[in-house]
A and B are shown apart, each in its own frame.
Chain A
């Protein structure tokens, strides 16, 4: 079985701070990580490899430094890594990203494609289903459990108030939730192999059968026209130096003033 896992290198958005004076994002010093949902997807693939044997390839689209994320995936146990990178892919929205990734995936053998549900820097959850549409294969989103039997995959698919247990024939694309598992750590031998033994293959514009009008900024239907930090609402009142009893009475007073009590 050939499993391809799509991973994205993202800034750890928990660590992003705003400059209180300019209101701009401070990106310096923010660590880059493998997107958590993607890492859970990789772990799910590695568990399938452990239990029933599989070739696990990881694919990442991004700037050259995304290689670090691919090396980490190799060190966790992936067999093969592919970096999809070219200036021509820059500025892609989810439509163009999915279109480009799908074209890259067509150059690899796959039975099962796993992506994370969503990336923590964009939070869109769109690229997985859109890759599946481009490849004309079924997608099963929000996977909490994955089982493979023969040429079929059975997934526990999460909704807000229920699960569907669904089954599809492979090839199929699954989007993974972080709840799926706890990803393993890299091993020392794995790290050694990832840097010394294993190669990262690069796919660029010329390797793909795509139209210029369908990739990068030019191929993207959406445009960001404005970014801004949220203006904090008018500051309320804050009291300090009250005893707990005084504080309790203060809060009660406010509930009465607002006619909540």
Chain B
């Protein structure tokens, strides 16, 4: 971490004209030159790692929540324990959860620990939204599906899941934005993600450009991901925008 943050902490005297470091020397709030100089060595790798961390967390969280929701859709008794456990996981402060997980053998100070924590935060949101989406399918639609001879599996894949899509994607949007924000905290236990430059800047305590840029990138990433998911929903549910003519 220290090695990565070095360019921000020690103002180098080599390379480039002295004037290009004027901003850093004056310690202004935001130095565009610093950003362009550190983009490929610090910011871009951190952003890329952040995307991977978030995507993996949401994907694994979705797979688990989806399977649990399908079971709970058929057996109501499953719903309460799942809500209870995922609810408890959701309320554990993220820093505390990281610290709890680190002593476990296969985890330790690694991205795996971060993923376990991030996944556990997505479960409640995703499970609830998937299950609500499935449950909100109108009874008459289900009745018609059964009455025309669809099997339970055909009804699920051809009718219930497509109709649950808006609710499911709404859940994925919340989970994604949450994970992108939380993943910055993962830098306390592993050297990955936008949290790394943020942490470095906090430890440095003087130079603000790195903090602002990395934080801004996390916000921009969340907004982009949310926007992409909105587009995905529009593409997948053309019927939801069909209005009476």
Chains A and B form a bound pair:
no
Chain B residues with CB under 8 Å of chain A are none
Chain A residues with CB under 8 Å of chain B are none
